[in-house]
Amino acid sequence: MTRIGEELYAHVGALYPIFRSITGPGLRQTLDYIGRQIPLRVQEIPSGTQVLDWVVPPEWSVRSATIETRDGRTVVDFAEHGLHLVHYSQPIDRLVPLDELQEHLHSLPDQPTLIPYRTSYYKESWGFCLAHEVRTRLRDPAYRVRIDTTLAPGSLSLGEAFLPGDEAGEVLISAHICHPQLANDNLSGIAVAIALAQKLTARRRRFGYRFLFMPGTIGAVAWLHQNRDARARIHHGLVLTCLGDPGPPTYKRSRQGASLIDRCAAHVLSDEGFADRILPFTPWGYDERQYCSPGFDLPVGCLMRSPSGAFPEYHTSADDLSLVTPAALADSLSRLDRILSMAEDDHRPVNAMPYGEPQLGPRGLYFSPTDDPQPFATETLLWVLNLSDARHSLLDIAERAGRPFEEVAAAARVLSAKGLLRRAEVR
């Protein structure tokens, strides 16, 4: 746990200094890093390509951006923090009167020391984000504003990794990678996704696992554009974000609301005592809004700790390496693994001796208090026998019995080994 926590934190640390946006060199550097951890297929979609209702924007690259006094003192410098520049700012190099400049500045009066994060991808503009306490000190009549950026035909970069499974269905794991120098949102999601892919590589998998590392919205839209058949292929999935802060876990349901992944995540959070952190679907948030658009309606929920907008550091310079912790990252990975493992293991068992109870004693299944402790209570064993009628899944049984899924699954494994259970043919 400590080791994996450190590993996860190291990914966040390595990616934090890179300046990212929805296109451009930082995005590619990020994908390069991921590609060194897990086998990744990177795709470039040219600017101007129509994807669903959207068009791939020009590629944006930044060389420098400053606000200086007329006597050459630097007031705001992009080189100091990537959040200083509004994303997709147009180039500019001129003296700007303070009044005009103010219309291009963004700060947080209630958090005067923090730099906010702002973008203007689809509206031509330029602007700076800065600490409010710095902004209030701007009193000169005019400032020299220099933004050395390029907005030019290029491409949108998407990373995709696929681990095949025994069955046809795929599990979608999606993390956005467009946020610049924000640690929890969303380097934590990238780190956890990398580690999950590494873990799964070593395992036999029932489902295939498809990892998407893409810029928010436009990336998901582009991928869905290429995968119109997603509904038929995607068995379930999760968007990963904000998984490194110290807050308790949060699960936001998919639009379907009670799909397998929704039930697995809700079972895990309830079992952990976080039933109040299971949120209903809403058509805003992260890329689940694309996956859950009505034409696709994929069973894809969103796993978080503190949800977007619900922690004070959200979308500010305070979402830095001090906000995320190895322990929180490791805990998130462990929970994610538990949820996905449940979906892997769930099936509808069939009692091979459904008429009356089978005799447990001769099969070594009658445990007395002096026997070695079993990973399940005798009551759980009886529940599995009683409900294994090809209509109840292990998860159904766990919910009716009020026991953890894993305990029910352990009992089912023992019963299977004794020939008392088999799997239903059709899921």
Q: Is 179 annotated as a binding residue?
A: yes
Structural Rg of the chain based on CA atoms = 25
Considering the rule CB under 8 A, would residue 284 count as an interface residue with a second copy?
yes
Question: Site for a second copy (CB under 8 A): which residue of 141, 273, 294, 373?
Answer: 294
Backbone phi, psi, residue 160, to 5°: -145, 135
Structure tokens at 197: 């892919």
Taking CB under 8 A as the binding criterion, the range among 72-80, 292-300, 323-331, 410-418 that sits at the site for a second copy is: 292-300
Residues 6+ apart with CB under 8 A from 402: none
Considering the rule CB under 8 A, would residue 373 count as an interface residue with a second copy?
no
Question: Cα(278)–Cα(147) distance, rounded to whole angstroms?
Answer: 44
Considering the rule CB under 8 A, would residue 269 count as an interface residue with a second copy?
no
Considering the rule CB under 8 A, would residue 358 count as an interface residue with a second copy?
yes
Considering the rule CB under 8 A, would residue 357 count as an interface residue with a second copy?
yes
Question: Cα(180)–Cα(387) distance, rounded to whole angstroms?
Answer: 51
Q: Is 87 annotated as a binding residue?
A: no
Question: Site for a second copy (CB under 8 A): which residue of 4, 14, 42, 52?
Answer: 52
Considering the rule CB under 8 A, would residue 383 count as an interface residue with a second copy?
yes
Considering the rule CB under 8 A, would residue 424 count as an interface residue with a second copy?
no
Nearer Cβ to a second copy, position 329 or 395?
A: 395
Taking CB under 8 A as the binding criterion, the range among 72-80, 183-191, 194-202, 295-303 that sits at the site for a second copy is: 295-303
Pairing relationship of beta strands 250-252 and 349-351 according to DSSP bridges: unpaired
Backbone phi, psi, residue 178, to 5°: -100, -5
Counting residues that bind a second copy (by CB under 8 A) gives 41
Considering the rule CB under 8 A, would residue 387 count as an interface residue with a second copy?
yes
Q: Determine the Cα angle at 217 with ends 212 and 222, to 5°.
A: 65
Considering the rule CB under 8 A, would residue 389 count as an interface residue with a second copy?
yes
- Give the shortest CB-106-to-a second copy separation in angstroms: 12
Considering the rule CB under 8 A, would residue 19 count as an interface residue with a second copy?
no
Question: Site for a second copy (CB under 8 A): which residue of 175, 323, 385, 421?
Answer: 385
Question: Site for a second copy (CB under 8 A): which residue of 359, 364, 417, 427?
Answer: 359
CB 176 within 8 A of CB 189: yes
Backbone phi, psi, residue 186, to 5°: -145, 30
Taking CB under 8 A as the binding criterion, the range among 31-39, 47-55, 62-70, 302-310 that sits at the site for a second copy is: 47-55
Question: Cα(396)–Cα(349) distance, rounded to whole angstroms?
Answer: 11
Nearer Cβ to a second copy, position 58 or 248?
A: 58
Question: Cα(41)–Cα(356) distance, rounded to whole angstroms?
Answer: 55
Question: Cα(242)–Cα(329) distance, rounded to whole angstroms?
Answer: 9
Considering the rule CB under 8 A, would residue 122 count as an interface residue with a second copy?
yes
- Give the shortest CB-298-to-a second copy separation in angstroms: 11
Nearer Cβ to a second copy, position 175 or 385?
A: 385
Question: Cα(286)–Cα(417) distance, rounded to whole angstroms?
Answer: 43
* Bridge partners of residue 374, in order along the sequence: none
Which SS3 state, helix, strand or coil, does residue 303 take?
strand
- Give the shortest CB-295-to-a second copy separation in angstroms: 3
- Give the shortest CB-70-to-a second copy separation in angstroms: 30
Pairing relationship of beta strands 105-106 and 208-214 according to DSSP bridges: unpaired
Considering the rule CB under 8 A, would residue 72 count as an interface residue with a second copy?
no
Taking CB under 8 A as the binding criterion, the range among 49-57, 193-201, 240-248, 339-347 that sits at the site for a second copy is: 49-57
Taking CB under 8 A as the binding criterion, the range among 58-66, 89-97, 281-289, 300-308 that sits at the site for a second copy is: 281-289
Using the 8-state DSSP alphabet, how is residue 406 labeled? H
Residues numbered 199 to 228 that lie near a second copy (CB under 8 A) are 217, 220-221, 224-225, 228
Q: Is 176 annotated as a binding residue?
A: no
Considering the rule CB under 8 A, would residue 254 count as an interface residue with a second copy?
no
Question: Cα(404)–Cα(413) distance, rounded to whole angstroms?
Answer: 15
Nearest to 9 by CA among 152, 139, 279, 195: 195
Cα 230 to Cα 235, 286, 293, distances in angstroms: 9, 18, 12
Considering the rule CB under 8 A, would residue 167 count as an interface residue with a second copy?
no
DSSP of 5-62, one letter per residue?
Answer: HHHHHHHHHHHTTS---SSSHHHHHHHHHHHHHS--EEEEEETT-EETTEEPPPEEEE
Asked if the bond preceding 351 is cis, omega within 30° of 0, the reply is: no
Residues making up the annotated binding site for Zn(2+) are 179, 185, 315
Using CB under 8 A as the criterion, which residues of the chain lie in contact with a second copy when the complex forms? 52-54, 122-123, 217, 220-221, 224-225, 228, 255, 282-284, 289-290, 292-297, 351, 353-359, 361-362, 379, 382-383, 385-389
Residues making up the annotated binding site are 179, 185, 315
